[in-house]
Amino acid sequence: MLKGKKIAIGITGSIAAYKIPLLVRLLKKEGAEVQILLTDVAKDFITPLTLSVLAGNPVLSESFDKKTGSWNSHVELANQADLYLIAPLSANSMAKMSHGIADNLVLTTYLAAKCPVFFAPAMDLDMYKHPTTQENIKLLQLHGNHLISPNEGELASGLCGAGRMEEPEIIFEIIKNFFKKKTQLSNKKILITAGPTYEAIDPVRFIGNHSSGLMGYAIAEELANRGANVELISGPTSLSVFSPRISKTDVVSAKDMFDVCINKFPECDIAVMSAAVADYTPEKTESNKIKKKTDDFLLKLKATKDILAQLGKQKKDNQLLIGFALETENELDNAKKKLKNKNLDFIVLNSLTDKGAGFKHKTNKISIIDNKGNISDFTLKDKKRVAIDIVDKIDELF
């Protein structure tokens, strides 16, 4: 896939620079030609020698090389590249990049680049959360650049949260995927549900579940990366979307989600229902807080409407419908029943008996069962990689 592809990597000043040699090795192994560009501060985090040995050519950091007297033309570098990745991208370089400041070779090459540009932010939690940084990320995306969003986790500062650069193996997958044969999903309209629903008992209490929304958001992002226009209908989560190709509607209850989906589905090519929708809701929502009076308390519930089953009834021949099944026993049989009963094209099965799969994890282990009887089992992977597998299947069937 990457044989002969020219990939330029711009490295800016962040500790995450230490991960780039691994990425360079992965790219080289696949036959890519790698050209490294470094800012001055980046050299404090990673040595040019390590990078030039791995890339197999000298790294560049100055427009004018005083030693050899040669000129490193940013325009030429930008024209030669099939893809320009800026990773890690520090908050400072991101601010410059989003406002057209070009005071080093990494940034002049960015301004001259006509090839697709990917950027992988890496910074401390507070810098990442700062409204200016968030605005800059949006600006870069609006200008057509592809975000490789950072992970949450332990940061070099000792803080824990968002801002950790994506792992090199996943950046590699994303790049590889980008060069795959032309996707069928470009400009297709795709409906996706994600997260839990909250069913109100009274003004302060609800029935909910542990869904984080991570899986659905990762699928939405992967679809947007392949050029689809995504309608994300999300239950309450702490997640955000950045891609201008994703339009997000926030909902709370199963009924809200049902109404929005029924309204949007007719104009969509594909629907992916990954939300953990409540099957039951309180028969009556009290308008005042329920007071504690008795030793026991009985709450009467009524069934919610099954969104996926309803879309299955309405589905036209040119529409694809994908569902999820989260099971704890008789996994395959239950998933097959849902696939048939809800008239799906394929179903993604997660088993809660698999360690590291399902809710609350950053990883997932899935099987895909399609309506032709094909079953594919996948290994435990990061949810962003699982999203790539699911979107590959959508792409194949569409």
The interface with ligand CTP within residues 248-277 (CB under 6 A) comprises 254, 273, 275, 277
The interface with ligand CTP within residues 65-94 (CB under 6 A) comprises none
Quick check: 331 binds ligand CTP (CB under 6 A)?
no
Least CB distance to ligand CTP at residue 327 (A): 7
Site string for ligand CTP, 279-308 (x = CB under 6 A): x------------------------x-xxx
Quick check: 40 binds ligand CTP (CB under 6 A)?
no
Among residues 209, 334, 343, 371, the one annotated as catalytic is: 209
Of residues 66 and 302, the one with the C-beta less far from ligand CTP: 302
Quick check: 113 binds ligand CTP (CB under 6 A)?
no
Of residues 28 and 248, the one with the C-beta less far from ligand CTP: 248
Dihedral (Cα; 245, 149, 48, 50), 10-degree rounding: -120
Residue that is written with structure tokens 């995450």 in the block: 16
In 10 A of CB 1, how many CB atoms? 13
Least CB distance to ligand CTP at residue 307 (A): 3
Distance of CA 395 to CAs 145, 222, 227, 264, Å?
22, 11, 12, 21
The interface with ligand CTP within residues 179-198 (CB under 6 A) comprises 193
Mark out the alpha helices in 143-213 (DSSP H runs): 168-178
Strand 189-194 vs strand 199-200: parallel, antiparallel, or unpaired?
A: unpaired
Cα angle at 101 between 97 and 105, to 5 degrees?
80
By CB neighbour count within 10 A (0-12 exposed, 13-18 middle, 19+ buried), where does 44 fall? exposed
Least CB distance to ligand CTP at residue 234 (A): 12
* Three-state SS at 136: helix
Of residues 242 and 359, the one with the C-beta less far from ligand CTP: 359
Cα angle at 221 between 124 and 251, to 5 degrees?
95
Determine whether 209 is an active site residue: yes
List residues near ligand CTP by CB under 6 A: 193, 254, 273, 275, 277, 279, 304, 306-308, 323-326, 338
Catalytic residues: 209
